[in-house]
Amino acid sequence: MSEKNRNHEILEKVSDEPVADGFDLRLYVAGQTPKSLAAISNLKKLCETHLAGRYTIEVIDLLVTPQLAAGDQIVALPTLVRRLPEPLKRVIGDLSNTERVLVGLDIRSKTGSRT
């Protein structure tokens, strides 16, 4: 964890240890591309609205540490990864579609069945 932390930019951490049902989120960005900047901003807003007090966000700039892309199998940026609760979930894009993000993070269930 400490090895990683050195290269991570921790945007915000609500508590040191993830809360029992807390969301451990990681946002991968590519420097300050417009989508990356939009994604950081959208995620922050969204978490405050829906996960207040139950989340931590790590922002990882792959322009600084490209080798970290491998770990979470990142192909496109920006990508949001839900590391906890399991299972691991991924949302790609600038997170401007709140509904899709909420569904993707299992914060709100999809209207249709999973089949």
Partner 1 sequence: MNRPSEFSSIEHSQLIELQDRLREAEETLDAIRNGEVDALVVGGPSGQQVYTLENADRPYRVLIEQMQEGAVTLSEDGVMLYCNQRFAALVGADRQTLIGESIERFLAGEEIFAFRRLMTLDRGFGRSAELSLLASNGLVVPVNMSIADLEVDEQMPKVLCGVITDLTRSRERSHELAAANLRLAREIDERRRVEDSLQLALDAAEMGHWDLDLLNNTLTRSTRHDQIFGQVNGVKGWGLLTMLSQFVPDDRNAVNEEFLRAESSGSVEFERRIHRLNDGAVRWVQVKGRTFYLNDKAIRISGVVSDVTERRQVEEQLRQSQKMEAIGKLTGGIAHDFNNLLMVIGGSLDMLDQRVAKNEKITRYLTAARHGVERGATLNQQLLAFSRRQDLRAETICIDDLINTFANLLDRAVGEAVTVKIEAAPELWYCRTDAHQLETAILNLAINARDAMPQGGTLTLKTTIRMLDVQAATANGASAGDYVAVSVADTGVGMTPDVIERVFEPFFTTKEVGKGTGLGLSQVYGFARQSGGFVSIESCPGIGTTVSIHLPRATSLEATEVVADTPVEVRGKGIVLVVEDDSDVRAVASSLLEDLGYSVLEAETGSEAMKLMDRGERIDLVFTDVIMPGEMNGIDLVRAMKIKHAGIPVLLTSGYTAQRIAMAEMAEGLQLLRKPYTQVDLSLAVRSVMKDQA
Q: How far apart are CA 47 and CA 106, in angstroms?
A: 13
Stretch that binds partner 1, among 2-10, 17-25, 51-59, 61-69 (CB under 8 A): 61-69
Q: How far apart are CA 89 and CA 3, in angstroms?
A: 23
> Is residue 92 within 8 Å of 35, Cβ to Cβ?
no
Q: Among 25, 40, 46, 77, indicate the residue that binds partner 1 (CB under 8 A).
A: 77
- 30: contact with partner 1 by CB under 8 A: yes
User: Which residues of the shown chain bind partner 1 in the complex (CB under 8 A)?
Assistant: 29-37, 62-63, 66-67, 69-70, 74-79, 90-94, 104, 114-115
